[in-house]
Copies of this chain bind each other. A is one copy, B any other.
Amino acid sequence: MKTLTLSEAANRTRSSDVRELLKDAQLPGMISLAGGLPDPALFDVEGLEAATREVFASEAQTALQYGQTDGQLALRQAVAGLMAERGAPVSPDQVLISSGSQQALDLVSRSILNPGDVVAVERPSYLAALQIFHLIGADTVSIPVDGDGAVVDALLSLPTDKPKPKMLYLVSNFANPSGATLSLARRKQLVQWAVDNQVFVLEDDPYGALRYRGTAVAPMIALAKDVPGALEWVGYLSSFSKIVAPGLRIGWAVLPAGLLDACVRIKQALDLHTSTFSQSVAAKYIASGRLPAHQQTVCEVYGKRADALAAALTDAFGDKLKFNRPDGGMFLWGRFEDGTNARQLLKIARDKGVIYVPGDVFYPDTPDASAIRFSFVTVDKAKLAEGAQRLLAAHKAL
């Protein structure tokens, strides 16, 4: 019996390794440093419930009806307000509401990339972005990351056997997985490069609001105002997933007008619009004024956990494991300096009761087998210390 032949796109799409790994997080007694999920115990349930009550009291029929493809005006206004706080004042007209920033990345990518086009990405890179580029049939070239984020100079010596990139994608603050933040100098350099080379630079910023210490760096869409012609070549993505709640599935994009129009046309075909119910709840929540205090709570808790994990890993491994102490976000990115293979170590670590994500999965090419990603945000201090000790026991048994 012949069976259905799937499309080429379906055949080249694989399920994420990380998602498979996360099933182990459910095992009894397992300490999971693998996840990328925010701590649900910190969700502002009270505030969101109050916002939802207000939606039902004041705009139930609108919140339950079909809506505009580009998003509800009240929410686009609320997002414009957040953008001003982030140093990038924009008009609500420049904002597109999406079903998580993941969808915004897909919409921008599909609006710009043809199959066979090239995207420049970081090395290591956000895994689900690579999935999107792969699904579209686009190719990637990569530039390395150091403590100041993506090494922009490396764009001057890209491989010559591939076409020039049409787009560049990076996570600008406390990146997943590298934890690095792109420095101001490199942001300026990248904006200039975008104009000079006519490559669209897409800044993804889901974690920037989770800064525990230090000073925020301006988004590139703000810096572009000082560079003639640059506003056409930069875009910005962010999300409520890490600062409010991922279950709402609300993200947004700030884009130049022509690109935004294209994204809206494509989104109309894909899902008509993002849940008006979720959008109304998010807009009422922002309007309630509770977000700043909530963000501060999350930052305090995550910051302490980041420090606890950093201390526990230093205790356990000393110089054998090198990492940067996170100033924000959800990830600690390290590298075994003794040649340990993080994927081989994981097999033993799992038996010892601790899991993490081997860093090799985040490389679009030439993976670093000694790299390792830890998430600390859902684990308390005692368990972080215990997790580090279990990892040490696994390392000794390797």
Which of chain B's residues has its CB closest to A137's CB? B115
Q: In the bound complex, what is the Cα–Cα distance between A278 and B271 (angstroms)? A: 15
Docked-complex contact B269 and A13, CB < 8 angstroms: yes
> Does A112 make an interface contact (CB < 8 A)?
yes
Which of B16, B56, B99 contacts A268, CB < 8 Å? B16
- Report how far A135 CA is from B15 CA in the complex, Å: 24
A292 interface residue (CB < 8 Å to B): no
Contact stretch, chosen from A244-252, A302-310, A313-321, A363-371: A244-252
Which B residues are CB-close (under 8 A) to A103?
A: 270-271
> Which residues on B sit within 8 Å (CB–CB) of A266?
9-10, 13, 135
Please name all residues of chain B whose beta carbon is closer than 8 Å to the beta carbon of A249 when the two chains form the complex.
99, 271-277
Tell me, rounded to whole Å, the shortest Cβ–Cβ distance linking A361 to chain B.
Answer: 15
Within 8 Å of chain B (Cβ to Cβ): is A227? no
Min CB gap A298→B, angstroms: 13
Nearest-CB residue, chain B, relative to A117: B7
Instruction: Kindly provide the distance from the CB of A350 to the nearest chain B CB, expressed in whole angstroms.
Output: 21
The answer to whether B66 touches A37, judged by C-beta atoms less than 8 angstroms apart, is yes
Question: Roughly how many angstroms separate A257 CA and B241 CA in the complex, as a whole number?
Answer: 30
- Pairwise interchain contact A268-B131, C-beta atoms closer than 8 A: yes
| Contact present for B4 and A259 (CB under 8 Å) | yes
The answer, yes or no, to whether A236 is at the interface (CB within 8 Å) is no
* B19 and A45 contact, CB distance less than 8 A: no
Asked whether, in the complex, the Cβ of B111 is within 8 Å of the Cβ of A246, the reply is: no
Q: Which among B65, B106, B198, B241 is the interface contact of A2 at CB below 8 angstroms?
A: B198
Contacts of A100 in B (CB 8 A): 271-272
What residues on B are CB-neighbors of A209 within 8 Å?
Answer: none
Minimum C-beta distance from A66 to chain B (A): 5
The residues in A between 223 and 260 inclusive whose CB is less than 8 angstroms from any CB of B are 229, 232-233, 241, 245-249, 256, 258-259
Given contacts A6-B112, A10-B262, A64-B246, contact A277 B281 (CB under 8 A): yes
> B268 contacts A19, CB within 8 Å?
yes
Interface: A41 (CB within 8 A): yes
Taking a contact as CB atoms under 8 Å apart, the answer to whether A265 and B49 are in contact is no
Residue of B nearest to A265 (CB): B13
Q: How far is the CA of A99 from the CA of B103 in the complex (A)?
A: 12
A281 / chain B contacts, CB cutoff of 8 Å: 277
Contacts of A52 on B, CB cut-off 8 Å?
52, 56
Interface: A222 (CB within 8 A): no
Taking a contact as CB atoms under 8 Å apart, the answer to whether A43 and B66 are in contact is no
- Which one of A1, A5, A256, A278 has the greatest number of beta carbons of chain B within 10 Å? A278
Residues of B within 8 A of A198 (CB): 2, 4
Q: A279 — nearest CB in chain B belongs to which residue? A: B247
Complex-state Cα separation, A290 to B112, whole angstroms: 46
The residue from B8, B131, B246, B280 contacting A66, defined by CB atoms under 8 A apart: B246
**A4 to B276 Cα, complex, angstroms:** 31
Chain B residues closer than 8 Å to A67, beta-carbon distance: 247
Question: A4-B233, A40-B65, A277-B281 known; 5 other A-B pairs, CB under 8 Å?
Answer: A6-B262, A7-B262, A102-B271, A249-B274, A270-B270
The 24 listed contacts between A and B (C-beta, < 8 Å) are A3-B258, A4-B112, A4-B200, A4-B232, A6-B111, A6-B259, A7-B113, A15-B268, A16-B268, A19-B268, A37-B65, A43-B64, A63-B247, A65-B246, A66-B241, A99-B249, A99-B275, A100-B271, A100-B272, A102-B271, A106-B269, A245-B277, A249-B271, A249-B276
Nearest 5 Cβ contacts at the A-B interface = A64-B245, A247-B276, A40-B61, A10-B262, A131-B269
